C-alpha cells in the first residue's frame, strides 16, 4: 500500500489549499479506527464513523455550497461503520458495507490529524510581555493590499492591539478602513461615534477628565469585539491613550493569586447601562475562559457595574479579588501608554485589552477622535482568505501567521 503521488487530486470541497501535504504511506485497519501513516512518518488515527461523516463525495457534500449533506442519524449503517481501506494512487479509498465509496486526499487528512491544531492563518492570542511594543503598519501599506492587511490583522489578533500610521486627516476615514473588512457593529450609541473636546468647553460632552481603564459595553451579552479609534486632532496637552492587556493580567493572577482568579472567573456579576431609551443588562463573570481553560474574555468597567447581588462573605471576597485585578492593571508590565497623533489609528480587541485616557487640558488645543466597532469574525475571515493564497506558495502545510510579523 505505498503511495505514488505527492498531489492526488481529490476534490474535498474545501477552499483552503490542502494538496501540498506529505504523501500517504500506509493504512492499517483497527477495531474501531483506521491508522494512517504518511511519508514523513506522521501517524494519525481516525474513527470509522468520523471517516464516514467526512466523506466529500457530491452525495455527502454539496459540490457548490461545500456544506455537509450527509446525515449520520439517518444512516442505519453509521454505528457499525467499518470499511475496506486501501491506498490507490496516493488516495485513501474506503468502500463501506452498503457499497458507498469515499476518497480522502492525503494532505487534507494530514491537516486534520486529531492532535494537530487547525492552522488557518489566524494566530492565537499571545499575552504582552514586559517589553511589549505595538506593531505599526502604515496607512499606505494597509490600502495597498494583502501584505499590509495581513500584517495589521495578524498583529491585532495576536497582540490584541495594533497601530496604523500616517493616514489622512479626513472625517470618516475610520469608516472607510473598517469597511475594508466588514460593516460597523452598531450599539445603543450608534455605529460611529465621536470622542471630541473643544477649548473652553460649554457642554459636559466635551469634558477632559481622565477615563480609567475599562472595556466597552460589558453590559451586552456580546460586547463589541474590536474597537477602532482614529485620531483627527490631538493638540491638547495630556490625553495619552492608556491600554492594558486583560488576558495577561488574568493569566498572571491565575498563577500568582489563584483564589482571586477563581473568584473572578466563577462569580457572575451584573453589568447594566440605563438611560431614557434603553436598559441593557447582563450577568457575567469578569474573567471568562473556554473549555480548555484559555482566557476568552475580560469584562471590566467600573461605572456600569450594577448592584452586586452577593451575600456579605462572598461580596467581600469578590471585592478583594476585583481590587487585585485593578491593582495589576496598573502595573507597567501589563501596560502600554502613548499619545495618538493626527492621522493615526489604534485598533484593539475590546474583549481583551482595556483602554483609558489620561486627563488633558482642553484650553491648550483640540482633541478629536472618531471611533467604531467591528466583529472579530470579519477580521479572522479576511486573514483566512489571505492565507489561502499565501499557502499555495508554501512548500508544505501553511505557515503560521504568528511568525510573519515581529513585534517592533
Ligand atoms: Fe471606552
Closest CA to 304 of 329, 286, 323: 286
Q: Do 237 and 273 sit in the same domain of this protein?
A: yes
Among the residue ranges 237-246, 280-289, 313-322, the one predicted with the least confidence is 237-246
Is residue 305 predicted with pLDDT exceeding 90?
A: yes
User: What is the Cα–Cα distance from 184 to 13, expressed in whole angstroms?
Assistant: 31
CA of residue 291 to ligand 1 center, whole Å:
29
In a domain, 129, yes or no: no
What's the domain range around 222? 135-392
CA of residue 357 to ligand 1 center, whole Å:
9
DSSP run (H or E) holding 53: helix 48-53
CA of residue 146 to ligand 1 center, whole Å:
30
pLDDT tens track for 6-48: 454 699 999 999 988 899 999 999 999 999 999 999 999 999 9
In a domain, 245, yes or no: yes
**% the chain with pLDDT above 90:** 78
In a domain, 37, yes or no: yes
* pLDDT recorded at residue 207: 73
Q: b vs e for 359-388, b when ≥16 Cβ sit within 10 Å of the residue's Cβ?
A: ebebeebebbbbbbbbbbebbbebbbebbe
Q: Do 147 and 48 sit in the same domain of this protein?
A: no
CA of residue 212 to ligand 1 center, whole Å:
9
CB 302 within 8 A of CB 255: no
pLDDT band, residue 104 (cuts 50/70/90): very high
Cell numbers placing 316:
467581600
Q: Do 190 and 302 sit in the same domain of this protein?
A: yes
pLDDT tens track for 147-205: 999 999 999 999 999 999 999 999 999 999 999 999 999 999 899 999 887 667 665 55
Q: Domain holding 312: CATH number? A: 3.60.130.10
Those residues whose C-beta lies under 8 Å from the C-beta of residue 47, and which sit 6 or more positions away, are 32, 33
CA of residue 371 to ligand 1 center, whole Å:
10
Q: Domain holding 28: CATH number? A: 3.30.2020.30
Q: Do 89 and 140 sit in the same domain of this protein?
A: no
How many structural domains does the chain have? 2
CA of residue 215 to ligand 1 center, whole Å:
6
Instruction: Tell me the CB-side half-sphere exposure of residue 32, using CA atoms within 13 A.
Output: 4
Q: Do 91 and 190 sit in the same domain of this protein?
A: no
**% the chain with pLDDT above 70:** 91
In a domain, 16, yes or no: no
In a domain, 321, yes or no: yes
Is residue 119 predicted with pLDDT exceeding 90?
A: no
In a domain, 403, yes or no: no
In a domain, 55, yes or no: yes
* pLDDT recorded at residue 399: 34
Other CB atoms within 10 A of residue 278 CB: 12
In a domain, 118, yes or no: no
User: What is the Cα–Cα distance from 266 to 317, expressed in whole angstroms?
Assistant: 12
Q: Point out the domain boundary residue: 96, 111, 126.
A: 111
CA of residue 216 to ligand 1 center, whole Å:
5
Structure-model confidence comparison of residues 85 and 406, the more confident one: 85
pLDDT band, residue 206 (cuts 50/70/90): low
Amino acid at each position: 500500500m505505498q503511495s505514488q503521488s505527492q498531489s492526488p487530486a481529490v476534490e474535498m470541497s474545501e477552499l483552503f489549499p490542502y494538496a501540498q501535504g506529505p504523501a500517504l504511506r500506509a493504512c492499517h485497519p483497527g477495531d474501531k479506527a483506521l491508522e494512517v501513516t504518511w511519508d514523513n512518518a506522521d501517524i494519525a488515527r481516525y474513527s470509522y464513523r468520523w471517516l464516514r461523516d467526512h466523506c466529500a463525495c457530491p452525495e455527502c457534500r454539496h459540490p457548490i455550497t461545500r456544506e455537509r449533506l450527509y446525515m449520520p442519524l439517518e444512516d442505519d449503517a453509521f454505528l457499525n461503520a467499518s470499511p475496506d481501506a486501501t491506498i490507490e494512487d496516493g488516495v485513501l479509498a474506503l468502500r463501506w458495507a452498503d457499497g458507498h465509496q469515499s476518497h480522502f486526499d492525503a494532505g487534507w487528512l494530514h491537516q486534520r490529524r486529531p492532535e494537530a491544531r487547525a492552522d488557518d492563518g489566524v494566530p492565537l492570542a499571545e499575552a504582552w510581555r514586559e517589553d511589549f511594543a505595538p506593531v505599526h503598519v502604515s496607512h499606505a501599506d494597509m490600502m495597498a493590499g494583502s501584505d499590509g492587511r495581513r500584517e495589521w490583522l495578524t498583529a491585532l489578533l495576536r497582540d490584541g492591539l495594533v497601530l496604523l500610521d500616517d493616514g489622512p486627516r479626513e472625517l470618516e476615514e475610520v469608516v472607510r478602513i473598517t469597511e475594508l473588512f466588514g460593516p460597523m457593529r452598531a450599539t445603543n450609541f450608534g455605529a460611529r461615534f465621536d470622542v471630541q473636546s473643544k477649548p473652553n468647553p460649554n457642554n459636559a460632552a466635551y469634558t477632559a477628565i481622565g477615563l480609567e481603564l475599562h472595556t466597552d459595553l460589558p453590559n451586552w451579552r456580546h460586547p463589541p469585539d474590536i474597537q477602532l479609534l482614529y485620531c483627527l486632532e490631538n493638540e491638547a496637552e495630556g490625553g495619552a491613550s492608556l491600554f492594558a492587556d486583560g488576558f495577561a493580567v488574568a493569566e498572571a493572577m491565575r498563577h500568582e493569586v489563584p483564589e482571586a482568579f477563581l473568584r473572578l472567573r466563577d462569580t457572575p456579576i451584573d453589568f447594566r447601562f440605563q438611560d431614557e431609551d434603553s436598559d441593557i443588562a447582563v450577568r457575567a463573570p469578569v474573567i471568562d475562559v473556554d473549555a480548555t481553560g484559555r482566557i476568552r474574555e475580560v469584562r471590566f468597567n467600573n461605572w456600569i457595574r450594577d448592584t452586586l447581588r452577593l451575600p456579605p462573605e462572598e461580596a467581600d471576597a469578590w471585592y478583594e479579588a476585583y481590587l487585585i485585578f485593578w491593582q495589576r492593571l496598573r502595573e507597567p508590565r501589563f501596560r502600554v501608554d502613548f499619545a495618538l497623533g493626527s492621522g493615526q489609528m489604534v485598533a484593539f480587541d475590546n474583549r481583551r485589552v482595556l483602554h483609558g485616557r489620561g486627563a488633558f487640558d482642553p484650553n491648550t488645543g483640540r482633541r478629536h477622535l472618531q471611533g467604531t466597532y467591528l466583529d472579530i469574525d470579519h477580521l479572522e475571515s479576511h486573514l483566512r482568505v489571505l492565507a489561502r493564497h499565501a499557502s499555495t506558495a508554501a512548500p508544505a502545510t501553511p505557515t503560521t501567521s504568528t511568525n510573519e510579523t515581529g513585534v517592533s
